[in-house]
Amino acid sequence: MTDETRPAPEHHAFQAEVSQVLDLVIHSLYSHREVFLRELISNASDAIDKLRFRATTEPGLLGEEELRIRLLPDADAGTLTLDDNGVGMTHDELVQNLGTIAHSGSKRFLEAMKAKGSGSDLALIGQFGVGFYAAWLVADRVDVVSRAAGSDEAWRWSSDAKNGFDLEPATREARGTSVTLHLKADQKDFLERWQLKDLVQKYSDFVGHPIELAREADDKTEGDPGFEAINQARALWQRPRAEIDEAQYKEFYKHLTNDWDDPMVWAHFKVEGSQEFTGLLYVPKHPPFEMDVPGEARRGVRLFVKRVFIMDNCDALVPVWLRFVRGVIDSDDLPLNVSRETLQDSAVVRAIKRHVAKKTLDRLDELAKESEEQYATFWGQFGRVMKEGLHLDTEYRDRLGALARFESSHGDSITSLADYVSRMKEGQEAIYYSVGDSRQAAASSPHIEALRAREYEVLYLSDAIDTLAAEGLREFQGKKLQNVANADLKVDGDAAKDDPGALGPFIARVKSVLGGRVRDVRASTRLKESPACLVIPPGALNPAMERLLRANGRDVPPSARVLEVNPTHPLITAIQARVDAGGPDADVSEWIELLHDQALLTEGSTPDDPHRFARRVTDLMQKALGAAPAAN
Ligand code: ADP
């Protein structure tokens, strides 16, 4: 076609978010320009993986040519081209993939960046992965020519980042994509062969497909293909551990996850026998941002079958309480045509999942042994997720119990249960825990007064998941975990006394005033300074759980608790004396109401009628001061 007959290219605007991402990339990453190569190679490698995956059902797609990624620097033109023979893109895919932001992740990345008000948070950018847009770190114009596998059309996508992009028909002999970067005047260094080799070594050596660099014209000999391989082209996880250094493990992690930070720890293992698979699993340093967003877990653990990439984020391979783990599983036993559905009830997958759990827990055990301080950092980031395992997975109860850490009355730092047990006092029967909305609330609970007097250590649980975790764990090293607010708490072998003794008439009076609002009223053995508290009868929900369920919109009827009164408290003995004196006494009823309201407040609940509670307190203060009650 001559220039006159060629139709004008279609012009498209970028979606507004793309322009914003481009802007951010250019302004925040200028000191890390070289990452463009890693990002584009990553895309090319993914495109080859996708092709191989499609070829498992459409073998005709593959053709003769070896799958590879090529780097073609052209000094005269000032361009660097990355060419792959992967899956390619159709016209519509070019528009969609390179002109809009498909993942809501990127949108929220923008929001997060805006909220932070700074353009330089690398960790944040890294977590979202800017991918293709990194091209604009070094180029002022980018041309993409692509031909989708199975199609005979090719399209050229072209943009200077400022004014949207153009699309026009193009020619390309075979399937694949080439990305041509018109390098900025000050970025021509990226045409240097040694520079490209260095960068591939540094960032992309483990890419499982060959990366080839075009030879210089004078280097070419006859019969030479004109390309030199510059990476090992062997998936990192397939290499023996001894051949991989730390830097490579770290780079591979970054390649997999887009995280800019190093991983905290990793485990690389090969399982042989009835099942054969290789795993390379990483624990990040900080929660992947999508970890707790349902439907947003884009990265996760990648599944390969016999070196062929099958899927990202393969939930079925990882227990939900390890959902922060990233990495690769490469199975020799699964069929290439596995789908998310068939994975769910595959015995192979269940076996892999058990290994994933075991290897990760082993590695975390080691970390805890190597450095309790580093482990505490890990626990601070992911403990909340791991604790779900105590509740969900009885199979791992003991191992998770050993890895769990809690706050406690022993110092300010968190403690393991093993350390707690080693500090248990003689005669101490259980591992005690107090639940509250904060450490402060758990620590000042009246339920632990008698335990504190005996210098028994108490765990302070203030995470929403904590009670479920403690109830799931049940016991550790043969010691029962005991909620101090449960009715069955025994202090020195005594539970609350059923025989009220001298307190009988008072207790009868309390019961008649409170009626159905309490299940029972008893003399307490757990109180020292406080006059009364509410305890949880067997089978009833604890108050923290009730509040959690209600906060999640569940309709939980209030469950009556047992009121315990402190027989040695001067207030109780004084009221008791009034009751013993006989006759109806309006004041006594008011005080009983107040005792009950107070007990509700200390367990973190709200009195049934806060307004009446406030009025009672006011009345009491007025009486104490001898002030006349306000006229109604
Ligand atoms: P990400 O790789 O994180 O999805 P990118 O911005 O890097 O985001 O790329 C967007 C999409 O464009 C990719 O998901 C992929 O579908 C497509 N793409 C990019 N590069 C290529 C390529 N070389 N071959 C085929 N598709 C590609």
Kindly state the average pLDDT of the residues 380-392: 93
Helices and strands counted in the chain (H then E): 20, 23
| Secondary structure in 3-state letters for 200-235 | HHHHHCCCCCCEEEECCHHHCCCCCCCEEECCCCCC
The alpha carbon of 43 and the centre of ligand 1 are apart by a number of angstroms equal to: 5
Q: What angle do CA 570, 572, 578 make, to 5 degrees?
A: 105
CA Rg value for the chain: 33
Nearest to 101 by CA among 38, 19, 170: 19
Q: How far apart are CA 160 and CA 476, in angstroms?
A: 63
The alpha carbon of 146 and the centre of ligand 1 are apart by a number of angstroms equal to: 12
Listed in sequence order, the DSSP H helices in 2-103 are 16-28, 35-55, 91-99
* Atom 19 (ligand 1) nearest CA: 43
pLDDT at 236 over 70: yes
* Atom 17 (ligand 1) nearest CA: 97
Site of tokens 């005269």? 76
The ligand 1 atom nearest the CA atom of 179: 23
Q: How far apart are CA 126 and CA 255, in angstroms?
A: 10
Residues composing the chain: 632
Give the 3-state secondary structure percentages of the chain, helix then strand then coil, rounded to 5: 45, 20, 35
Q: What tokens appear for 583 in the block?
A: 């006759």
Between 534 and 100, whose confidence is greater? 534
Fold of 387-483: Rossmann fold (3.40.50)
* Atom 13 (ligand 1) nearest CA: 97
The alpha carbon of 97 and the centre of ligand 1 are apart by a number of angstroms equal to: 6
The ligand 1 atom nearest the CA atom of 42: 2
Q: How far apart are CA 632 and CA 629, in angstroms?
A: 9
User: Best mutation site among 97, 101, 254 for ligand 1, i.e. most ligand atoms within 8 A of its Cβ?
Assistant: 97
The alpha carbon of 332 and the centre of ligand 1 are apart by a number of angstroms equal to: 28
Between 11 and 32, whose confidence is greater? 11
The pLDDT value recorded for residue 563 is 95
Query: What predicted TM-score, i.e. pTM, was given to this entire model?
Result: 0.75
Q: How far apart are CA 499 and CA 284, in angstroms?
A: 56
Residues 10-29: tens digit of each pLDDT: 999 988 878 887 887 777 77
Fold of 501-539+554-625: Four Helix Bundle (Hemerythrin (Met), subunit A) (1.20.120)
The pLDDT value recorded for residue 220 is 55
The ligand 1 atom nearest the CA atom of 86: 24
pLDDT band at 300 (very low <50, low <70, confident <90, very high): confident
The C-alpha torsion from 295 through 297 and 302 to 305, rounded to 10°, is -10
The alpha carbon of 128 and the centre of ligand 1 are apart by a number of angstroms equal to: 14
Chain centre to alpha carbon of residue 18: 27
Residues 424-445: tens digit of each pLDDT: 999 898 999 999 989 999 999 9
* Atom 18 (ligand 1) nearest CA: 43
Amino acid at 285: K
Cβ-based neighbours of 497, under 8 Å, separated by 6 or more: 522, 523, 525
Domains in the chain: boundaries: 18-229, 236-370, 387-483, 501-539+554-625
* Atom 23 (ligand 1) nearest CA: 44
| Residue 117, beta-bridge partner list | none
Q: What angle do CA 425, 431, 437 make, to 5 degrees?
A: 125
Kindly state the average pLDDT of the residues 588-606: 91
* Atom 11 (ligand 1) nearest CA: 97
* Strands in 390-468 per DSSP E: 405-408, 415-416, 430-435, 458-461
| Residue 476, beta-bridge partner list | 479
The alpha carbon of 282 and the centre of ligand 1 are apart by a number of angstroms equal to: 24
pLDDT band at 340 (very low <50, low <70, confident <90, very high): confident
The alpha carbon of 182 and the centre of ligand 1 are apart by a number of angstroms equal to: 19
The ligand 1 atom nearest the CA atom of 129: 3
The ligand 1 atom nearest the CA atom of 39: 7
The alpha carbon of 39 and the centre of ligand 1 are apart by a number of angstroms equal to: 9
Report the share of the chain in percent with pLDDT over 70. 89
pLDDT at 558 over 80: no
CATH architecture classification, 236-370: 2-Layer Sandwich (3.30)
* Atom 21 (ligand 1) nearest CA: 43
The pLDDT value recorded for residue 542 is 81
* CA dihedral (570, 574, 580, 583) positive or negative: negative
Kindly state the average pLDDT of the residues 58-73: 92
Residue pair 235/206 in contact by the 8 Å Cβ criterion: yes
pLDDT at 491 over 80: no
Q: What tokens appear for 521 in the block?
A: 């009223």
Q: How far apart are CA 201 and CA 194, in angstroms?
A: 10
* Strands in 148-287 per DSSP E: 154-159, 165-170, 176-183, 211-214, 227-229, 265-271, 277-283
For the chain, what is the mean pLDDT? 87
* CA dihedral (395, 401, 404, 408) positive or negative: positive
The alpha carbon of 175 and the centre of ligand 1 are apart by a number of angstroms equal to: 15
pLDDT at 192 over 90: yes
CATH (residue range 18-229): 3.30.565.10
Give the pocket of ligand 1 (CB within 6 Å).
43-44, 47, 84, 86-89, 97-98, 129, 131-133, 177
pLDDT at 316 over 80: yes
